[in-house]
Structure 1
Amino acid sequence: MTSEMNSFRETNPYFERISFAKLESIQSIPDLVDIQRRSYSWFLQSDSKREERKYQGLEQVFREIFPIYDSHEKNLTLEYSGYTIGGSKYSEYQCCDRDQTYSAPLKIKVRLINQKTGELREQDVYMGDIPLMTSRGTFILNGAERVIVNQIQRSPGVVFDHDEGKTDPSGKRLYSAKIIPYHGAWIEMEYEIGDVLSVRLDKKRKLPVTVFLRTIGFEKTSDILKLFYQPKVLKSGSIGEGKDHPWTKSVLIEDIIDSETGEIVVLAGAELNEDIISRIEALGIKQIKVCDISEKGSDVTILRTLEEERHKLAEKDNVHITADEAILKIMEVLRPGDQMVPDAARQELNKLFFAKDLRKYDMGEVGRYQLDKKLGFDLRKVNERYLRPEDIIGVISKLIQLNREQTQTDDTDHLANRRVRTV
């Protein structure tokens, strides 16, 4: 605090605090504006050297913008080297007296690199004046002292919820999950009537969640089924009448293919019945891989979702959609009107959700911690702020568990799911 402001307070009677309380104070009033000062100090990092500043606040903003490339020939690159904050032209008291803003000049050091010639130019660029915070946690704008009020907002991470049985006529709860990043597009998953699980990317049109799974490394239907069901082998003679594996509750994990013609006879995900059993035996197949959906903990969500995917998106009845078809379907929803080849579409989806470039998608340390805690992952990997395929699988598995057990979900209004947004 400047000497001018101190003398102003000493000579001004309005700054004297008078207590009319009859009881003596047993505890001093806490510093209620300390959170404001610490927040703005975290944002500016003015006490740190330029090369020692962390990836946060104003430093993070500049790093997300730079480097900037020449959009035409891409020969020129503008790189960021750091910023400096100068001193204020006026003191706090002078700003109040002269109707000025208490601020300081902000300059950044940039390098212009010519990729062809290797020529490099470096200079400081004036970006404007940035407001400074007073010791009282306030800002002085045009001579008026202002304060920023903290906000309580939704915390990044994953939130599970349900519709309280309002949608399904039977009163069954339909569960949903939202993966909320600190910065980037949302991923929303929700149950529909009939145990079909859908996904909504960036608040666009819904698609079966199995379509999304095919684009993140699980291209085949058998790969998806093995994620959520335990495969078992039924040998010849036990396919139709085994006590441990009754065929009426078994589902094929892999496609049944005619070795002579290469044609798919029975699709993976089909529930065994007498007709399918006879067709399998006619091909001379000795053993098949199945999952028993009658077991404790089994669920039909993925099977119903695969059926929905096949009926809505597959071009033919007896085929699954391919990974290339799945990625193109998703990009039709995310980028309607854009014509893309599968490789370009896959790169675009990866940039949108799974790239390690935090400029596109950032869960934040709090979001990563919240997500890992709810899914039972390693809590020490808070630096992995990008989205991972195992996160998607974990959220789907948790949703299936909630749907099966019909248990309570997160309270979105609970302070554990909220964060204070400071200056």
Structure 2
Amino acid sequence: GSWLDIEFDAKDIVYARIDRRRKIPVTSLMFALGLDGEAILSTFYKKILYKRTKEGWRVPFDANRFRGYSTINDLIDADTGKVVLEAGKKLTVRAARQLQEKGLKALRLSDEELVGNYLAEDLVNPKTGEIHAEAGEEITDKSMKALNEHGYKELPLLDIDHVNVGAYIRNTLSADKNMTREDALFDIYRVMRPGEPPTLDSAQAMFQSLFFDAERYDLSAVGRVKMNMRLDLDAPDTQRTLRKEDILSVIKTLVDLRDGKGEIDDIDHLGNRRVRSVGELMENQYRIGLLRMERAIKERMSSVDID
């Protein structure tokens, strides 16, 4: 079947290539799979709820998340009001663990310290339906001021610290010109069949045939077992086409590797190679021949109709 390559570029934007064609943002592929912006962000990032208090913002303390955190102001315990780390210092891994062991539950942060974070959800006025800010949007001084004016008491933010978790998918989503499933399907259609005007039905049918049609795509039983083992999936061995979960798991694994989690596969290891049997090679050649014959017959029939 078709090849699907997923890669990072020099700016750490994640791209996908289908059959070595022009690359498209990987978020376009996810839009085509039926996800929206919020769903994409929630798939790849945890959500942290920042709550408004009289003194500032209360945020749950997690030693893993705050390790390596550089303070602008004094780091203050939200419950006791005591300073746990002075301004200008860096929170080391050891110090973060010690604070958690001492029972630190939450920190108090200022508006200034929320700047540079990213929203996890669209912020919508429930009465008018007006969108104040979109999911994935970066908080700036100006937008922070506007959110305070709108009176938000809670802000759902993405768990991105640029140390343990990078903003690769969020940045890709921001750089992606496609915003809906239809736009993404049309874009993929233009890449695969340049020059042909796309319709929604033809774009959907073409995308479905790439990886999800058993006649055109076959992982093989061995391929499915290998994929389940590598990505920790539980798809049955009979599922020989790709699923939405498979593609998302591959992207997630690649992003985790970029964040320094997991191990890279050894390309030379024979466990990552697959011996193709004579039967399979013959089947492939036979399929190619039949597809050519099908195309020739269709062309002959259409030319007869015109005559």
TM-score (norm 1): 0.49
Select which of 238, 242, 251 maps to 2:118: 251
**Paired position in structure 2 for 1:385:** 240
Look up the SS of the partner of 1:225 in the other structure: helix
Of structures 1 and 2, the one scoring higher in RCO (CA 8 A, sep 6+) is: 2
Equivalent residue for 2:29? 212
Q: In the alignment, which residue of structure 1 is the partner of 2:49?
A: 233
Kept in 2, the 8 Å contact 1:189–1:197? The answer is: yes
Alignment of 1:115-264 (within 5 A): 184-218=1-35, 220-237=36-53, 241-244=57-60, 246-248=113-115, 250-258=117-125, 262-264=129-131
- Is 1:404 the counterpart of 2:259? The answer is yes
Matched, 1:421 2:237: no
Task: Name the residue aligned to 1:28.
Answer: none
Distance 1:407 1:289, change over 3 A: closer
Which has the greater radius of gyration? 1
Structure 2, unmatched stretches of 5+, are: 61-108, 279-307
Question: Structure 2 CA distance, aligned partners of 1:333 and 1:340?
Answer: 11
Residue equivalent to 1:372:
228
How many angstroms does 1:418 deviate by? 2.1
In 2 relative to 1, CA 393–240 (structure 1 residues): closer, same or farther, beyond 3 Å?
farther
Structure 2 CA distance for partners of 1:239 and 1:199, relative to 1, 3 Å? farther
Q: Over residues 333-381 of structure 1, what are the superposed CA-to-partner deviations in whole Å (9 max), with x where a residue is unaligned?
A: 11112222224312321122123xx211110011111111110112x72
Give ranges in structure 1 of 5+ residues lacking alignment.
1-183, 315-320
RMSD: 2.5
Helix, strand or coil: the match of 2:57? coil
SS of aligned partner of 1:337: coil
Equivalent AA in structure 2 for residue 231 of structure 1: K
CA-to-aligned-CA distance 1:44-71 (integer Å, 9 cap, x gap): xxxxxxxxxxxxxxxxxxxxxxxxxxxx
- Selected match of 2:207 from 349, 355, 359: 349
Deviation at 1:267, TM superposition (A): 2.3
Could you tell me how far 1:209 is from its partner in structure 2? 0.3
1:302 corresponds to? 169
| CA 216–282 in structure 1, closer or farther in 2 if over 3 Å, else same | same
The reply on whether 1:269 has 2:136 as its aligned counterpart is: yes
Q: Is the 8 A contact 1:256 1:266 kept in 2?
A: yes
Tell me: CA distance 1:203–1:347, structure 2 relative to 1, closer, same or farther (3 Å): same
The structural deviation recorded for 1:275 is 1.5
Written as runs of structure 1 = structure 2, the 5 A alignment for 1:56-135 is none
Cα 1:230–1:422 shift into 2, 3 Å: closer
Aligned-pair distance for 1:407? 6.7
* Structure ranking higher in strand proportion: 1
Work out the number of aligned pairs and report it: 227
Preserved CA contact (<8 Å) 2:220 2:240: yes
TM-score (norm 2): 0.67
Quote how far apart the aligned CAs of 1:290 are. 1.5
Corresponding residue number in structure 1 for 2:145: 278
CA contact (8 A) 2:22 2:191 kept: yes
- Deviation at residue 285 of structure 1 after TM alignment: 3.1
Residues of 2 paired with 1:215 and 1:208: CA distance?
11
CA deviation after TM superposition for structure 1 residue 231, in Å: 1.7
Identity of aligned residues (%): 33
Q: Which has the higher helix share?
A: 2
CA contact (8 A) 1:249 1:292 kept: no
TM-aligned CA distance change 1:343 to 1:259, over 3 Å: farther
Residues 240 and 247 in structure 1, CA contact (< 8 A), matched pair in contact too: no
Correspondence for 1:359? 215
